[in-house]
Amino acid sequence: MDQQKHEARQPIIGRRDFLVGTAVAGAVVPLGSLAWAASSDTSASQTGSMNTRKLGKLEVSEIGAGAMSISGTYGPAANISDGIRTLRTAHDKGVTFFDTAEVYGPFINEELVGEALAPIRNQVKIATKFGFAIDGTTDRDSRPDRIKRVAEASLKRLRTDRIDLFYQHRVDRNVPIEDVAGAVKDLIQEGKVLHFGLSEPSPRTIRRAHAVQAVTAVQTEYSMIERSPETNGVLATCEELGIGFVPWGPLGIGFLTGRIDSNTKFDPKTDLRANFDRFSPENMAANMPIVEFLKQFAARKEVMPSAIALAWLRAQKPFIVPIPGTRNIDHLNENLAALQVGLTPADLTEINAVLAANPVHGGRMSPMFMEAVDVDA
């Protein structure tokens, strides 16, 4: 991909913020259910030194890689060669699950992922997404004919003959979810898509879609500081139906790395967090006790805070596969150190006690972003 072309197509942050960034996501929930009895053994097979997990029937590395931030959204876009190098290094270290979307860029992130993974295509699983109009508005568009056109275009950008996991990026209230599931079912029957996913759906939407075409994975923001899937029924519905769960923002959109504090400034022209309530100076200061604890706990385990945040997520359920995003190989290594962290029951009790004692301040996203999150009436 031409670096100059990539830079020329970087969007100006404005009304399109929503499009570029809509991925942009108490007590430990008990593990296990009958639905997972045959598919949740993470020690049964391995990719390099990394175990695998099952999202429905899709087997992937137990930690994936989100590519969105390489093309901007949380700061300026990375150099294209650095982005490709980071994704290929992730694969060298055992990552086989890579996440992108039509709307990231838009389009350029899929191109980057396609270029990075083309030499190793048969060794990886690629997830991408459809569902935004990409017309300068915040509109969603999941009409069946458009879903099929998006699939064809994504296949070309990704340099592949199949999409391993095709998510509806956000629920389109103007199109019945049964019609969406039916369109993806057609693509699966044609061999162009292998698995169907939903991003930020409600439990009711999950059930309705699953009745038409089996849902393989649900993607929603989930981290130590964003635990709504535990209480809104989404995680429980996934467990009941045998659906995998893919947390986006598993590091609290950067907050849990320990590199952000109340003095951090976000450029509203390049970083969506500038408009997120949780990232106001006041709310970041109020939430710092969680980060300070995380730093201290990580020091005891001789890793960075991000490794603890990811290890905690993986400990919640055996069908959870977080997709931390980075454009930095050092940060990639810090994230993958989570694989060497064994959190004991005592560790989890300690962590959850601190989280319970420090309620999170600030909403997860701006009202414009939250409007697209599907909720049961």
According to DSSP, the residues that pair with 245 across neighbouring strands are 218, 320
Confirm if 298 and 340 have CB atoms less than 8 A apart: no
Confirm if 150 and 111 have CB atoms less than 8 A apart: no
Confirm if 332 and 89 have CB atoms less than 8 A apart: yes
The better pLDDT of the pair 15, 102 is held by: 102
18-45 average pLDDT score: 32
Q: Fill in the amino acid letter for 86.
A: T
Task: Compute the distance between CA of residue 7 and CA of residue 30 in angstroms, rounded to an integer.
Answer: 46
Mean pLDDT of the chain: 88
* Residue 138: predicted pLDDT: 73
* Residue 137: predicted pLDDT: 74
336-360 average pLDDT score: 97
pLDDT surpassing 70 at residue 12: no
Q: Would residue 222 show up in a list of annotated catalytic residues for this protein?
A: no
344-352 average pLDDT score: 98
289-297 average pLDDT score: 98
> If pLDDT is split at 50, 70 and 90, which confidence band does 25 have?
very low
Quick one: which of 341, 332, 343, 320 has its CA closest to 257?
Answer: 332
Task: Compute the distance between CA of residue 328 and CA of residue 189 in angstroms, rounded to an integer.
Answer: 38
> If pLDDT is split at 50, 70 and 90, which confidence band does 46 have?
very low
Q: Which CATH superfamily is domain 3-370 in?
A: NADP-dependent oxidoreductase domain (3.20.20.100)
Per-residue pLDDT tens digits for 142-152? 999 999 999 99
Quick one: which of 244, 158, 236, 161 has its CA closest to 198?
Answer: 244
Per-residue pLDDT tens digits for 335-347? 999 999 999 999 9
> If pLDDT is split at 50, 70 and 90, which confidence band does 78 have?
confident
88-97 average pLDDT score: 98
* Residue 21: predicted pLDDT: 39
> If pLDDT is split at 50, 70 and 90, which confidence band does 291 have?
very high
Q: Print the SS3 string covering 258-280.
A: CCCCCCCCCCCCCEHHHHCHHHC
> If pLDDT is split at 50, 70 and 90, which confidence band does 4 have?
very low
pLDDT surpassing 60 at residue 44: no
93-102 average pLDDT score: 98
* Residue 233: predicted pLDDT: 98
Catalytic residue among 74, 104, 167, 222: 104
Q: Say whether 114 sits in a helix, a strand or coil.
A: helix
Q: Could you list the beta-strand ranges (E) of 209-307.
A: 215-221, 244-248
Residue 2: which residues within 8 A CB-CB, separation 6 or more? none
Per-residue pLDDT tens digits for 209-234? 999 999 999 999 999 999 999 999 99
Task: Compute the distance between CA of residue 136 and CA of residue 78 in angstroms, rounded to an integer.
Answer: 23
Strands of the sheet containing 165-168, edge to edge, are 65-66, 97-99, 125-130, 165-168, 196-199, 215-221, 244-248
Q: Fill in the amino acid letter for 247.
A: P
The structure's pTM equals 0.88
Least confident of 107-111, 212-216, 266-270, 349-353: 266-270
Least confident of 68-82, 198-212, 248-262: 68-82
Residue 287: which residues within 8 A CB-CB, separation 6 or more? 225, 255, 278, 358, 360, 361, 362
Residue 176: which residues within 8 A CB-CB, separation 6 or more? none
> If pLDDT is split at 50, 70 and 90, which confidence band does 198 have?
very high
- Interior CA angle at 25 toward 157 and 371, to 5°? 95
Quick one: which of 147, 242, 243, 163 has its CA closest to 201?
Answer: 243
356-375 average pLDDT score: 94
Domain spans of the chain? 3-370
Task: Compute the distance between CA of residue 332 and CA of residue 339 in angstroms, rounded to an integer.
Answer: 12
